[in-house]
Amino acid sequence: KNQVEQSPQSLIILEGKNCTLQCNYTVSPFSNLRWYKQDTGRGPVSLTIMTFSENTKSNGRYTATLDADTKQSSLHITASQLSDSASYICVLFLYGQNFVFGPGTRLSVLP
Amino acid sequence: KAGVTQTPRYLIKTRGQQVTLSCSPISGHRSVSWYQQTPGQGLQFLFEYFSETQRNKGNFPGRFSGRQFSNSRSEMNVSTLELGDSALYLCASSLIGQQETQYFGPGTRLLVL
């Protein structure tokens, strides 16, 4: 079983709609949990970084939440735009300086 | 401020050859990390350099190596290339370490034939 799982694997929504991406993890504790956005053919861009003790972090229309009890994180995108079409990757940065990467969710926003 | 730059952007090599990839971090950033991304394995961490020293290493064979220069620029070398080394190689920089926000370059896409 992967240490970080993301759902759904892919998602199609209409422009202007909201959506929520999920990240479930088994490793604990960790130093921080990150959400990255990666456009096709480009490097990832950091959206949010949350420490183990934080519950929520926002970056514009992106809001990440963290529930340490259920070992879940979610990324909520509000009022989606065409430019939100990308892969979204959940990453855990562990104590001991190691990373655990999720497989990503592929989001497509249609006009 | 200029972002992270990587050269070359695309590369085609044959099995058995070696390759060197280059990364220039954001000015002032001293930590440079390298990652491999493939459709099958996703993102995987290779190593991190800080002040010309390898500070952290992922689980990759010794064919993968790197170095960092005094100006924080970094190079990654892969020797005896295998077909499975075909991937997008990403470099990321940060001020002092991986625990903070990292800024990624556009990557070098390597194809091994």
Give the model confidence (pLDDT) of A52-70 as tens digits: 889 999 999 999 999 999 9
Neighboring chain B residues of A43 at a CB cutoff of 8 Å: 4, 90, 92, 104-107
| A90 within 8 A of A44, measured Cβ to Cβ | no
Residue with tokens 């491999």: B36
Of B43, B56, B99, the CB nearest to A89: B43
For B10, which residue in chain A has the nearest alpha carbon?
A41
Q: HSE-up of A56 (CA within 13 Å, CB side)?
A: 5
B104–A44 C-beta distance less than 8 A: yes
pLDDT at residue B74, as a whole number: 98
Neighboring chain A residues of B21 at a CB cutoff of 8 Å: none
3-state secondary structure of B41: coil
| B65 within 8 A of B18, measured Cβ to Cβ | no
Compute the mean pLDDT over every residue in chain A, rounded to the nearest whole number. 94
| B4 within 8 A of B91, measured Cβ to Cβ | yes
Q: What is the rounded distance in angstroms from the CA atom of residue A56 to the CA atom of residue A64?
A: 6
